[in-house]
Structure 1
Amino acid sequence: MTDEERPHEFSSGQGLDEDYEEFTLDPEELNADPSQVDPVDTRVITDLLDERNIAKEQVDTESLIDVGLSYMGINRFEEATETFGRAAQFAEDDSLAEQEAWVNKGVAHAQLEEYDEAIGAYREALRIDDDSEHAASAETNLAYALYEFGESEEALEHAERAVEIDPRFAQAWYNRGFFLVERGLLEDAVNAFDNAIRLGMRNAEVLEEKARALDELGEEEEAEAVAERAEELRKEAEQEMVEEFEEG
């Protein structure tokens, strides 16, 4: 499964809408003049923080995380990794903010296919707290990165852990189903995909994976019906993209 086919999961509550608002590198704590700097240049953040030697308590970590998410929204993943790294550096030690920064740093590395760095970021997030509001995202993203890194057995363990932490996390159920298919545990995989669908994950990808599991189970008729529905959803999504492009 390619990066384009598998969505990465950002920290809870921090996902990007398609129409994300413009951003600035001028939170009160940094006090940069936007007319004098490129507003999508992470070196501005680095220079300002280093030059002034700002103490941790003086840095608005949430603003840095927002900047990193904005970089993600415009596919500037290298800048995102640097910004999330800065956020983790200036966040209070072992805080939720630091954990959130590490999770998102891992996502940015994964987008660059830097899975070793992604794995390290997710593990650091889980070191801070393996049962927090960001832990399930860290676990499910760690599972994905481990799979891409060739560690499929350990990947399933972390997918299972993500579901244990947050049983209402649709992405975690989808990941669990995917890894179960890889292990040949097809009935359990179908149940995992059904849970993801019940929790609101109604897209072509989850239906395609469910159809694959059903087909391997010998449920050809049901697999075909699910695959047809997946194709319908894919066409609907493509049409929506065309309409948005024409309107924009």
Structure 2
Amino acid sequence: MDDPAKNLPEVTDKKETSIVNPDYQKNSFFKKGIHLMADEKLEDAVKVFEQILRLDATDTDTLLKLGYSKFHLDDYAGALQAYDKVLDIDVANSEAWNLKSLVNYEQKNYGKALDCVEKAIESDPTYGMAWYNKACYLSLLNEVPHALESLKRSIEIDVKNAKRAVRDKDFTNVRIEDGFKRIVEVVVLESIRQGYHTVGAIVWTTFISKIETEEALKKLLEKGMIIRSEKRQGLNKIDTYDLVPELANKVGTEKKSLLGSTRRLPSTIKNLKEVSQAIQTTKMVIEEEDTEKLTKTFDSFIDPAKLGGLMIDQFLEEHREIRLLKVRIDEKGKEYLKENKEKILKLFDNLEITVTQKLARIIF
């Protein structure tokens, strides 16, 4: 479930906390609603979110969660009403457009679903799930070339969409296309990289059929991306597959053992250290309140030629936030920076913690 609930902090003086934080009651209700969603008590969650909206009818986060809850209760009209209210407040809200597309999808209104998801992508071109959904709708409308193009874009943003696609019945219309077969090859290659070296293991981890797996392995061998060896298993010999050394060195590998997985990812360590250094520089510029210099430092996180690709791959939410901050500061200048300075610093503090944790997991 989105936004997993966290334990509420212990409060010793509720009255004082409510005075200090005027949103205390609303925040408490919201966390309660998230807990209920996580426990699949959706009717109760709806009641809580509706309570919040009586306090603040323009709370878009609550409206999105209300719509999501009603959607899973099959109240499609109620879900659409909630999403439309979000769009009345913020017409460029990509999440609302994407969720609205899913309602139309469930009602088999694929043309309307496509219109909605295209608006989500217009608002946020890096929204990988919206690109994925667009590919599904196009496939169902038998727009095969455009479906493959959108699917490839979603995979460029998040490679996990490749694995999702090979199991998705919405792509029945495109499975025989060479473009889709190349996506299957990507999934098989990733499975080998993660340490699954036999046909059986690849089928088990990817849910791709044995025939498709064997066809993908044949193509990867022809392209010189993998090598085949024989391994004795009892009285029998079975084929095993590995990345060619050059590719393994480039993308890194994971080797499975009884103790878990060990990683060899030198390029990832280097990239994460670059992100960490960029964060330090950015925090210093924020303290200086130099808006012109700050928007330039934001570019290092956004530009695909710099850290943009890594940010999209590993820190997509933070990437979106930084892009939005750049737009806001460009529009509103130093006044906006001063008013939101603590919030912006907190964003980069949290990003720094996440980067440090990732580095620690890789190194140790």
TM range, smaller chain: 0.5 to 0.7
1:154 equivalent to 2:112? Answer: yes
- SS of the residue aligned with 1:64? helix
Q: Which moved more, 1:162-171 or 1:212-221?
A: 212-221
Note the alpha carbon deviations across 1:101-144, whole angstroms, 9 max, x for none.
1111010111112212111111111111112xxx1111101000
Alpha-carbon RMSD: 3.3
- Tell me the amino acid that sits aligned with residue 103 of structure 1: L
- CA distance in structure 2 between the partners assigned to 1:220 and 1:171 by the alignment: 18
- CA distance in structure 2 between the partners assigned to 1:214 and 1:151 by the alignment: 20
Aligned partner of 1:118 in structure 2 is: 79
Based on CA coordinates, which of the two structures has the bigger radius of gyration? 2
Aligned partner of 2:33 in structure 1 is: 68
- SS of the residue aligned with 2:166? helix
Cα displacement (A) at 1:190: 1.5
- CA distance in structure 1 between the partners assigned to 2:141 and 2:54 by the alignment: 39
Kindly indicate whether the alpha-carbon contact (under 8 Å) linking 2:97 and 2:119 is maintained by their aligned counterparts in 1.
yes
Note the alpha carbon deviations across 1:136-178, whole angstroms, 9 max, x for none.
1111010001121232211110010001111111111111111
In 2 relative to 1, CA 148–24 (structure 1 residues): closer, same or farther, beyond 3 Å? farther
Aligned partner of 2:165 in structure 1 is: 206
- CA distance in structure 2 between the partners assigned to 1:72 and 1:84 by the alignment: 11
Correspondence for 2:6 among 21, 36, 46: 21
Normalized per residue, which structure has more strand?
2
Note the alpha carbon deviations across 1:172-209, whole angstroms, 9 max, x for none.
11111111111111122122222222222505323334
1:197 equivalent to 2:122? Answer: no
- SS of the residue aligned with 2:37? helix
- SS of the residue aligned with 2:167? helix
Pairs within 5 Å for 1:101-112: 101-112=62-73
Q: Which moved more, 1:22-31 or 1:213-222?
A: 22-31
Aligned partner of 1:242 in structure 2 is: none
Cα displacement (A) at 1:213: 5.0
Aligned partner of 1:142 in structure 2 is: 100
Query: Aligned pairs, how many?
Result: 188
- SS of the residue aligned with 1:208? coil
- Tell me the amino acid that sits aligned with residue 83 of structure 1: V
Kindly indicate whether the alpha-carbon contact (under 8 Å) linking 2:37 and 2:69 is maintained by their aligned counterparts in 1.
yes
Pairs within 5 Å for 1:33-112: 60-91=25-56, 93-94=57-58, 98-112=59-73
Q: Gaps spanning 5+ residues in structure 1: where?
A: 1-7, 32-56, 236-248
- CA distance in structure 2 between the partners assigned to 1:30 and 1:70 by the alignment: 24
Kindly indicate whether the alpha-carbon contact (under 8 Å) linking 2:30 and 2:52 is maintained by their aligned counterparts in 1.
yes
Note the alpha carbon deviations across 1:200-229, whole angstroms, 9 max, x for none.
250532333496454253667546646766
- CA distance in structure 2 between the partners assigned to 1:211 and 1:157 by the alignment: 19
Kindly indicate whether the alpha-carbon contact (under 8 Å) linking 2:50 and 2:66 is maintained by their aligned counterparts in 1.
yes
- SS of the residue aligned with 1:110? helix
Q: Which moved more, 1:203-212 or 1:170-179?
A: 203-212
In 2 relative to 1, CA 62–199 (structure 1 residues): closer, same or farther, beyond 3 Å? farther
- SS of the residue aligned with 1:60? helix
Q: Which moved more, 1:200-209 or 1:167-176?
A: 200-209
- CA distance in structure 1 between the partners assigned to 2:122 and 2:105 by the alignment: 19
In 2 relative to 1, CA 213–126 (structure 1 residues): closer, same or farther, beyond 3 Å? same
- SS of the residue aligned with 1:113? coil
Normalized per residue, which structure has more helix?
2
In 2 relative to 1, CA 225–78 (structure 1 residues): closer, same or farther, beyond 3 Å? same
TM-score (norm 1): 0.64
TM-score (norm 2): 0.45
- SS of the residue aligned with 2:74? coil
- Tell me the amino acid that sits aligned with residue 188 of structure 1: H
- SS of the residue aligned with 1:168? coil
In 2 relative to 1, CA 218–137 (structure 1 residues): closer, same or farther, beyond 3 Å? same
